[in-house]
Amino acid sequence: MRSRAIYGCAGTSLSAAEVDFFRDVKPWGFILFARNISDQAQVIALVEELRSTVGGAPVLIDQEGGRVARLKPPHWPARPPAARFGLLHQTDPQAAREATYLNARLIAHDLSTLGINVDCLPVLDVPVSGSHDIIGDRAFAHDPATVIALGRAQIEGLMDGGVLPVMKHIPGHGRAGADSHLALPRVSASAAELSASDFVTFRSLSQCPIAMTAHVVYESIDPQRPATTSPKVVRDVIRGEIGFDGLLMSDDLSMQALDGPLSVRAKAALFAGCDLVLHCNGNMEEMREVASEVKVLEGVALKRSEQALAHLSVPVALNGAPFDAAAAQARLDALLGGTA
């Protein structure tokens, strides 16, 4: 049986200690970062090495495009940030949707050739004036309608390319006045404001198979706890108002928005209603602490995991023909008016 955790690793291959740890705790999945990546052959080998410790597992990455990209030139092409598609949407919504789909399909192609099958994308946050730029151009636009339209195209592109999407950061990071990697953001907007803007993108795309929580306090809902560790936010907003019944994973437990020992953070996130907890930095001491509070994946969390993984499939045909990455790239370049 798998445990309710996703872990990173320290380098470009596994140490003996990491192999022993992963075999012992049997995480649900793994996540890769820039420190784990050098070239294509190395990444393929690392993915196989990770999976071998648990007999197969999802492997995740944050490959958004723009400034959040773990796979970078010269070995992988640079992909545009989400805001570029939002800009095109202002003048040609149909072209923007097609471009977003093709870009996501190309990202999925990049990932699937490495054995990576989950991408932490789309970003469905809706930034507002004055908010911290940690989201910034990672968001498609400042209006929910554009975010929904392009977020849907991105989800479809990833799934058609054989990669599971993870919508983030539910129920919304766009109003945050701080970077949750460094501090705990507090949002003072009313529940009505949040419902009309921040939550609506996730509500409209609630069929996405996986979602990642926001380390953000919504004072009008739960002034004491960020969404990740708030039973009220998870129950009433994420599962309730938004209607998300898919697999819910926390954002990284080691981020400074959360406080207390890692074991306490993990326990609180699971108690709040997260199905899985995420720990990213590959620090063995921290991972052991997280593992001390992470139990076996069972019950409703196991059912949600099975439902999410059931969406994985081989890449589907594009316009009735096998996917042609070069042709898709050329079409994307034309839609964006130059090299994407």
Residues in the chain: 340
Active site residue 143: no
- Angstrom distances, CA of residue 297 to CA of 4, 26, 27, 139: 5, 10, 9, 32
DSSP code of residue 136:
G
For residue 169, give the nearest of 196, 142, 135, 146 by alpha carbon: 135
Helix axes 16-25, 40-54, angle to 10 degrees: 40
Exposure string of 203-234, with b = 16+ CB inside 10 Å and e = fewer, is: bbbbebbbbbbbbbbbeebbeebbbbbbebbb
Q: How far apart are CA 204 and CA 143, in angstroms?
A: 13
Output the six-digit token pair for 48. 């196989």
| Catalytic residue of the set 20, 39, 92, 181 | 181
Q: How far apart are CA 340 and CA 335, in angstroms?
A: 9
Strand partners, 318: 321
CB 45 within 8 Å of CB 311: no
Q: How far apart are CA 120 and CA 124, in angstroms?
A: 11
Q: How far apart are CA 132 and CA 219, in angstroms?
A: 17
Active site residue 181: yes
CB 280 within 8 Å of CB 252: yes
| Catalytic residue of the set 110, 198, 251, 275 | 251
Q: How far apart are CA 89 and CA 80, in angstroms?
A: 14
Q: How far apart are CA 134 and CA 180, in angstroms?
A: 8
Q: How far apart are CA 86 and CA 39, in angstroms?
A: 31
Annotated catalytic sites, by residue?
Answer: 181, 251
